[in-house]
Homo-oligomer: A and B are copies of this chain.
Amino acid sequence: MRVGELSKRSGVPVATIKYYLREGLLPAGVLTSPNQAHYDDEHLRRLRLVRALVDVGGLSIAAVREVLAAVDTRDDSMHNKLGAVQEAISQPGSVELDPVAVEDVRAFLARHGEDECADVTDSNVTHMLASALSAARTVGHDHFQELLDPYLEGARLIARADLDYIARRGSPDDVIEAMVVGTLIGDAVLKAVRRLAHVQVSRTVIGDGSDD
C-alpha cells in the first residue's frame, strides 16, 4: 500500500508517519519509483504499536526507540519482551521512599516467590509499589501492606483475562501493542470497575439503609 492508504488504515496522519520514518521508528518502505514507497502489513502493525506507545503510553520518541529495540531482539522470549515493554510504560513517580514501605515490598515479593535480593528500585514496577505504600504511610496509613495479598489474588484473575486478550493477536508487534493498550487503558477501566465493586460490596456488607 502507499503512504496514504497506510495513513487511512492506521488512523495516523501522513505527516506523523513521515516523522516516524525519519526518526527510524518505522522501517522505510520499498521504493517503487524515486518518489513513491510501498508499505505492507508489517508497517501497519509497527505503526499501531508506535502509536500505542506514544498516544496511550505517553512515551518519548527515545523511549519508543528503546522499546522497539527490545521487541526486535531476536534471541529473547516473548515473556522477556513483554517485561521490558511493561517496565518502559510504568513510571514510579517521585515520592520519597519510606524504608519500612521498602521492607514491606521486599517481604511481599519474597512471600510470592519473586527475587528478594534485588533492590526495589531496580524495577519500575516494584519501585511504583514502594512509592504507593510510602504515600500511604505519609498520611498515617501504616497497615496498607496488609492489602497486598488480597490485591494480588484479585489481580491474578484480572491478569489471566489480560493475557487471554493479548494472546489472541497474531504477530509479536500486535501482542505487544495489545499489552500496552491493555495495561494502560486497563488501569483506567479497572479504576472504575473497582469503584463499582466497592458500591456492590458495601451494599452487602454495610447495607444501603433499606433495613437500617
Contacts and interface: CB of A to CB of B under 8 A. Distances in A.
Interface of A: 11, 48, 51-52, 55-56, 76-80, 82-83, 86, 90, 109, 112, 114, 125-126, 128-129, 131-133, 135-136, 139-141, 143-144, 146-148, 150-163, 165, 167, 178-179, 181-183, 185-203, 205-209, 212
Given A189-B129, A205-B167, A158 B194 contact: yes
A200 to B, nearest CB: 7
A189 B77 contact: no
Number of copies: 2
Contacts of A205: 160, 163, 167
Q: Which of A76, A135, A144, A154 has the most CB of B within 10 A?
A: A154
Contact of A192 (B48, B125, B159, B212): B125
A151 B159 contact: no
A140 B182 CA distance: 12
A165 B143 CA distance: 9
Contacts of A206: 77-79, 82, 163, 167
Given A133-B189, A165-B146, A187-B191, A207 B79 contact: yes
B191 A128 contact: yes
B150 A189 contact: no
B82 A132 contact: no
